[in-house]
Structure 1
Amino acid sequence: MDNIERIINEVNKEKVRETVEWLTHNTPYRLAGSYDEKFAAEYITDRMKQYGLEVFNQEFYTYNSNPVSSELEIISPIAIKMDSLPCAHIKSTSEEGEVFEVVYLKSGSYDDYKGIDVSGKMVLVEVSYSPPVPEKARIASSMKAAGIICMNWGNDEEVICNRGLKAVWGNPTQNTLEDIPDITGISITRKDGLKMKELCVSGQTVKIKVKAEASREWSKVHQPLGILHGNGKSEQFILVASHIDAWMPGVTCNATGNATNLEICRILAKHKDELDRDIYFVFWNGHEIAEASGSTWFVDNNWNLINDKCIGYINIDSTGVRETEIFEIKASDELIEFAERNANDSVEIDAIRAMALKKIGDQSFMGIGVPAVAQRMSYTQEVMDRNHGATLGWWNHTCEDGLDKYDIETLYKDTRVTLSLIWKLAQSHILPYNFKKKFESMEDRVMALAQKYGSDFELASLCNEVSEAGKAVELIQKRAFKITDAARIEDYNRFVMIVSRLTTNVFQTYSEKYQQDSYGYTKLSAMVPLLADLDTLNSLDKDSFEYGMVVTQLVKNKNRISDAMKQVKDFAYLYDKILRI
């Protein structure tokens, strides 16, 4: 039996099941700031203390919300009452309720608003990730809508999904507080949503009366952190995390993820003397309502440590979902081959779906540029299409996310494959980053934009800069296998960490590296987020005031990418000249 099989065979189904059931039975209402959240945090910190970790139950304040109640009634052209739930972080209505006209707006993206005036109205949107709900709300608010109604995905299931509308990623600042949508918001079943949609598209004026209440407040939350110290050969560490807060009862989101995290923690603690790197186990708080506040607080308050020492971030969310068939890997380009090899080496995995990781779901470390992996068993595309985009089951974020929605064999499989990944990453003397595909992808994207918009905006020079940076890095990586000296290995690892930090920031985010993009920000879906406004530029009159502003910002953004590529080339030159392999 080889080394990795020895480790992953220690995964214990009953211990994993015990964690899922304990959290579900004892702390079903784990929303940030609640008693159950505090109790769950104490349980997790106690478990990590038993395993011998250095443990902290961190406390901090987050900008939170308590969804209280809502009522919904269609008053015209028919009279009908519908069940609803209030969204979090909304503008509450008056106690008597308020009357609104409703406009159906499909997915609620910018394109869906073209030619439609929604000022003072409520928009009915279908829940999806294109864009995610907080971005739907931000767009609705920017279009002067008074509110938003979210109809659930899935099919005929009589369930209502809990939703949060706080578009600001993490805690707001004086500069971002106004970016939180100041609108009313409620959530309804898909069945009722389709009824309302039918009325809207029939050409009749649809009016509703809504009463909705939710608080907006700062509250103290708890975030367990356990540091597993390895054998001291390296000062670097791996960050492994899962979110602790959950909508009731929150089995697959995220009691199962916490069970995976704790089981990996338990096993690796027994083998700490074999770990060349430390591992930080964190259980994020403020994931749901506060939109990644815990992971954002962590990066803000540990910036230097993460920037200097963190080699990878493994985010564990919604493992063990029943009836899933494909192992889905979402990873930074430089780690995707490593993650695929790990999954392919597992006899448990029959099919793999690998894709580039996007900035969503506690991926709060892209500003620094820490490469990351998020993986789990997932549904086939056919199943997701049949459920109108429900990637985690129609029950996700509903009261139906109970113990019958997870499968212990699937959870066992997810835990073993992720344990294997972390073990290998902790043992890799030379960091397994491969930048070839990353630079090829970056160059292809810039080239495609140059071909489409080159007559309006010069991009040929940027294509060359990306290509030159990629070639400089590739020359060094091709010789990496020759390195045997420990000091030179350390220098090489530092070099590839620098490359990762420089490239991720300018190709996967829009905000400055010390800030966070709003949750699900539309520009992040562009081929190159910093150049997303090229499409806008193409549609503007070159003599217009707006054209001048857009092109000025594009030039600045292009310079930001160009500067990062120059730094990559400079570091490659210095590394190659001073530390020749």
Structure 2
Amino acid sequence: MTEDYMQALDKTVIEKVSKERLMEHVQQLCKFERVSGTDGELRAVEYIVSKLNEYGVKVTVYSFDALISRPIDAKVDIIYPTLTSLKAITHPFSISTPEEGVISELVYVGQGKQEDYNSKDVIGKIVLADGNASPEKTWIAQNMKALGIINVSNEEVPHEMIITTIWGTPSIKTCHRIPKIHVISVGRKDGETLKKMVSRGKVLLRIFTRTETGWLGLKMPVATIDGNEEPEKFVLVGGHLDSWYYGATDNATGNACCLEIARILAEEKGRLKRSVKVAWWVGHSQGRYAGSTYFVDREWENLNKNCVAYINIDSPGSVDTTVYLLESMPETMDFVEEVARKLTGLKVERLKPGRWGDQSFWGLGAPSIDCYSMVSEEKRANVGGSGGGWWWHTPYDTIEYVDPEYLVRDTRVNLAITLILANSIILPYKFSKNAEKYANIL
């Protein structure tokens, strides 16, 4: 079934993807630093809405308030056994220090897992942990009553990360989990310096963190291309609009991909069986998926009853990406892998879906699909996007790391998946795969 449908689409629809349009979108979006709640993000929303209007696509702009946190500044001063300062960044939802900073002893805790704290006194101290900052590491350090945590990047530059365990805007049931600890990251070289020093004896640090956290009004565009036979049923396609810095590969390329899919589907709407909605989520990086979570809360009944799948588009078209990673629900794996291999000839690696990337739709029963290109494993940095490039979530994520041909390739894959789900008489799901998984667990 999938093969027959793909053969009918290969030349008539999939090849409509325009490299020139995609790159124009990327270039326009990269004029703005798209941090949530800023003028840059709003201007990006206005650009997307203007293009959708130009394409004749219906668009709804949702307005809502979200708790957004933005890092401002951070520094680490070594005050014993030597005097020196290290470059550092802080993270959304870290608490700020007083202007004079806070001083305490440093304790190395390996990867920052619970067992790494065994037999270590960290109460009121600053812990040093390997790897990128994360909600889990932050939560453990806070529960162990550490004063702060310094994360050591695997690359020479630290990556912007979010460290709250709360998914979306906090509620009265979850607000107690807003972090109450100072969180910092440093590059690999400075991290290794700290690890060597603490292995030799006592180390005292003064750390500074400053964040701005508060309620901000956000705007979020969601486009709709109506189907003809089952217009109430729909495929939901989405990718986050907000970024760190100019965010070329994370996620201006994904935003461009979504715009191109919307344009082509608008031209093909007379041939669509089901509707397609395309969303540009805000509050992703500085609000931990606040936009997609708001959309689920607002549209729960419609999503639960009518959404046939969610397709997440994040970081397509990065340079040197020669393999696909597939993070999807078991019932979708076979057909999505078939589509990616048929269109590209590339290897597809299957992974268990991760709890990231605006995966806010699991609880309502919509199958989730995330098929994205990456560099080969031996070249892959310890990052969560940008095709596995070291520049992910740093100021260096610029257009030079976008490959126009690969962006076309990845857009075609996502467009094909969308079209199959919108037009198949019987959805290409194998729910027996879920049963097999449960049986293996039991």
Distance (Å, rounded) in 1 between the aligned partners of 2:114 and 2:356: 19
Q: Note if 1:9 corresponds to 2:15.
A: yes
1:139 CA drift (Å) = 1.6
Contact 2:57 2:263 in 1 (8 A): no
Gaps of 5+ in 2: 1-6
Residue 573 of structure 1 corresponds to which residue in structure 2?
none
Distance (Å, rounded) in 2 between the aligned partners of 1:152 and 1:55: 40
Identity within the alignment, %: 36
Residue 404 of structure 1 corresponds to which residue in structure 2?
400
Q: Note if 1:60 corresponds to 2:76.
A: no
1:434 CA drift (Å) = 0.4
**Is the partner of 1:181 in helix, strand or coil?**
coil
Q: Note if 1:96 corresponds to 2:119.
A: no
Distance (Å, rounded) in 2 between the aligned partners of 1:195 and 1:390: 25
Relative to its length, the structure with more strand (as a share) is 2
Q: Of 336, 339, 344, which residue of structure 2 is paired with 1:339? A: 336
Residue 324 of structure 1 corresponds to which residue in structure 2?
321
Superposed CA deviations along residues 227-270 of structure 1, whole A, max 9, x for unmatched, are: 11122434210000010000101111100110111111111110
Q: Note if 1:123 corresponds to 2:127.
A: yes
Residue 196 of structure 2 corresponds to which residue in structure 1?
198
Greater shift after overlay, 56-65 or 301-310? 56-65
Q: Of 350, 364, 372, which residue of structure 1 is paired with 2:346? A: 350
Residue 21 of structure 1 corresponds to which residue in structure 2?
27
Q: Note if 1:276 corresponds to 2:279.
A: no
1:170 CA drift (Å) = 0.4
* Aligned-partner residue type, residue 42 of structure 1: E
Q: Larger relative CO (CA 8 A, sep 6+): 1 or 2?
A: 2
Superposed CA deviations along residues 383-411 of structure 1, whole A, max 9, x for unmatched, are: 23xx3566622111100111111211111
Residue 183 of structure 2 corresponds to which residue in structure 1?
185
Distance (Å, rounded) in 1 between the aligned partners of 2:384 and 2:162: 17
- 1:79-228 alignment runs, 5 A limit: 79-128=83-132, 133-154=134-155, 157=156, 159-200=157-198, 202-228=199-225
Contact 2:383 2:390 in 1 (8 A): no
Distance (Å, rounded) in 2 between the aligned partners of 1:96 and 1:80: 16
Residue 568 of structure 1 corresponds to which residue in structure 2?
none
1:375 CA drift (Å) = 1.1
Superposed CA deviations along residues 327-346 of structure 1, whole A, max 9, x for unmatched, are: 11111001111101111221
Contact 1:261 1:281 in 2 (8 A): yes
Contact 1:153 1:389 in 2 (8 A): no
Distance (Å, rounded) in 1 between the aligned partners of 2:42 and 2:231: 34
1:116 CA drift (Å) = 2.1
**Is the partner of 1:375 in helix, strand or coil?**
strand
**Is the partner of 1:236 in helix, strand or coil?**
strand
Residue 293 of structure 2 corresponds to which residue in structure 1?
296
* Aligned-partner residue type, residue 169 of structure 2: N
Superposed CA deviations along residues 171-210 of structure 1, whole A, max 9, x for unmatched, are: 101121111110011221111111112222x241111111
Distance (Å, rounded) in 1 between the aligned partners of 2:383 and 2:202: 29
Residue 78 of structure 2 corresponds to which residue in structure 1?
74
1:380 CA drift (Å) = 2.1
Residue 33 of structure 1 corresponds to which residue in structure 2?
37
Residue 555 of structure 1 corresponds to which residue in structure 2?
none
Contact 1:134 1:167 in 2 (8 A): yes
RMSD of aligned C-alpha atoms?
A: 1.5
Distance (Å, rounded) in 2 between the aligned partners of 1:253 and 1:410: 15
Relative to its length, the structure with more helix (as a share) is 1
Distance (Å, rounded) in 1 between the aligned partners of 2:318 and 2:260: 17
- 1:348-497 alignment runs, 5 A limit: 348-384=344-380, 387-388=381-382, 392-446=388-442
Superposed CA deviations along residues 520-543 of structure 1, whole A, max 9, x for unmatched, are: xxxxxxxxxxxxxxxxxxxxxxxx
1:107 CA drift (Å) = 2.3
Distance (Å, rounded) in 2 between the aligned partners of 1:252 and 1:153: 20
Distance (Å, rounded) in 2 between the aligned partners of 1:318 and 1:390: 9
Contact 1:235 1:278 in 2 (8 A): yes
Contact 1:147 1:183 in 2 (8 A): yes
Distance (Å, rounded) in 1 between the aligned partners of 2:321 and 2:244: 22
* Aligned-partner residue type, residue 43 of structure 1: Y
Distance (Å, rounded) in 2 between the aligned partners of 1:4 and 1:230: 20
* Aligned-partner residue type, residue 351 of structure 1: K
Q: Note if 1:261 corresponds to 2:258.
A: yes
* Aligned-partner residue type, residue 99 of structure 1: I
Contact 1:330 1:356 in 2 (8 A): yes
Distance (Å, rounded) in 2 between the aligned partners of 1:139 and 1:204: 24
1:311 CA drift (Å) = 0.4
Contact 1:153 1:390 in 2 (8 A): no
User: TM-score, normalising length from structure 2?
Assistant: 0.95
Contact 2:383 2:389 in 1 (8 A): no
User: TM-score, normalising length from structure 1?
Assistant: 0.73
Contact 1:163 1:187 in 2 (8 A): no
1:160 CA drift (Å) = 3.0
* Aligned-partner residue type, residue 86 of structure 2: M
Gaps of 5+ in 1: 447-581
Contact 1:238 1:311 in 2 (8 A): yes
Residue 389 to residue 361, structure 1, CA distance change in 2 (3 Å): closer
* Aligned-partner residue type, residue 395 of structure 1: W
**Is the partner of 1:395 in helix, strand or coil?**
coil
**Is the partner of 1:5 in helix, strand or coil?**
coil
Residue 355 to residue 164, structure 1, CA distance change in 2 (3 Å): closer
**Is the partner of 1:441 in helix, strand or coil?**
helix
Distance (Å, rounded) in 2 between the aligned partners of 1:173 and 1:322: 40
Distance (Å, rounded) in 1 between the aligned partners of 2:317 and 2:9: 25
* Aligned-partner residue type, residue 140 of structure 1: A
Superposed CA deviations along residues 434-484 of structure 1, whole A, max 9, x for unmatched, are: 0122211111112xxxxxxxxxxxxxxxxxxxxxxxxxxxxxxxxxxxxxx
* Aligned-partner residue type, residue 326 of structure 2: I
1:161 CA drift (Å) = 2.0
1:359 CA drift (Å) = 2.4
